[in-house]
Amino acid sequence: MKGFITKENLWYRTQQLIILVLHLILLKWMFYTLSNSGRLPMAEVFYHFIGMSIMGALLIRGSAYWARHHYIKEIKHEQDLKKEHHK
């Protein structure tokens, strides 16, 4: 556990926390909708499921974009270090 959160990866861990919180919100929304779908009008249930689908898709796309951004940033950093080392 030591070194899990360091000065170098603090922003990355903050992003992971944000993604986790958003997933928990989506999970709570799903639980609410499934628990109350028998009492809600069909149109409202439909809109809840459309909203959950959109939020889930955005979470997947956003998380993938964030991961790709960090990957590219790390690759560029390693390339810069190699260039500095070869000089």
Q: Assess contact for 49 and 78: CB atoms under 8 A.
A: no
pLDDT of the residue at 87: 66
Per-residue pLDDT tens over the stretch 70-82: 889 989 989 998 8
Separation of alpha carbons 48 and 62, rounded Å: 21
What whole-number distance in Å separates Cα of residue 6 and Cα of residue 13? 9
> How far apart are the C-alpha atoms of 44 and 73, rounded to whole Å?
43
**1: pLDDT strictly greater than 70:** no
Look up residue 78 and give its two tokens. 């390693």
Q: For position 25, what pLDDT does the model report? A: 95
* Rounded Cα–Cα distance for residues 20 and 8 (Å): 20
Reported as a single tens digit per residue, the pLDDT across 31-78 is 999 999 899 999 999 999 999 999 999 999 998 998 898 889 989 989
Cα–Cα nearest to 55, from 23, 77, 18, 83: 23
